[in-house]
Amino acid sequence: MPRACLPPCVAFAAILTIVLMGPTVAAEKEHLRLDIAGALPPAEAEAIYQRVRKEMAESYAPADDPVARNYPRWRRFNIAPYLSATHGNRYANNYANPKAAKAGYGKLKPGQQMPPGAVVVKDTFTVTNEGEVFPGALFYMEKLAPGRSPDTGDWRFVQMLPDGSYLGDTVGDNAADVGFCFTCHKAMAEVDFLFFLPDDYRRK
């Protein structure tokens, strides 16, 4: 969905301009432009993420959302950001809270389910076809008590924009705006509606 660049985008671009200065990086207007063709190699995507992850997390802070506030301290399951077509072709990272990690996130067998209170998070950034880098949305799923939201498999789906505002919450405001989340996740019903990482990006 086209959006005007929000203030965190400017800060994000400025940070990347500082930490990635070199012959393949040039600032254009207020945004960073990377000289790339196609997807970023994993090592380059990871280098960018490691330098800006703190600032990305802080960009969600205005929401004062406990998931957005705490997820950077949870276990990260990927070795490098990966392109997620189902999340707007953004580079994504998978985090899970201790309850989800202990319950076997990423290793569920058919019929197994996450316990109430399990949370899975994706933070994202975007690299446009022109090579500009922007912070992306934060997506998360929170497992609810049985029967709390049968229409979404008892999962709460939330999407937060990179200024800390909410696009939608399936058990809160603007639920229809994030209804597509469960429409996609229904394909994984036998493993409690959870997708997991591409094999090459899984942390061993």
CB contact set of 188 (below 8 Å; sequence gap of 6+) = 194, 195
Which range, of 26-30, 71-75, 103-107, averages the lowest pLDDT?
26-30
Q: What pLDDT, on the 0 to 100 scale, is given for residue 97?
A: 98
Angle at 109 between CA 103 and CA 112, to 5 degrees: 55
- 147-174 pLDDT, tens digit each: 999 999 999 999 999 999 999 999 999 9
Measured from the Cβ of residue 133, the count of other Cβ atoms closer than 10 Å reads 26
- 41-58 pLDDT, tens digit each: 999 999 989 988 998 999
Question: Phi first, then psi: what are they for 198, rounded to 5°?
Answer: -60, 145
Tokens 């197994």 map to which residue?
112
Q: How much is the pTM?
A: 0.81
Query: Distance between CA 100 and CA 96 in Å, rounded?
Result: 6
Is CATH 3.10.20 the right assignment for the domain spanning 7-201?
no
Query: Distance between CA 6 and CA 83 in Å, rounded?
Result: 22
**Which pLDDT band, with edges at 50, 70 and 90, does 35 fall under?**
very low
Q: Is the pLDDT assigned to residue 182 strictly greater than 90?
A: yes
Query: Distance between CA 167 and CA 140 in Å, rounded?
Result: 12
Greater pLDDT, 74 or 9: 74
Q: What pLDDT, on the 0 to 100 scale, is given for residue 102?
A: 97
Question: Phi first, then psi: what are they for 84, rounded to 5°?
Answer: -115, 105
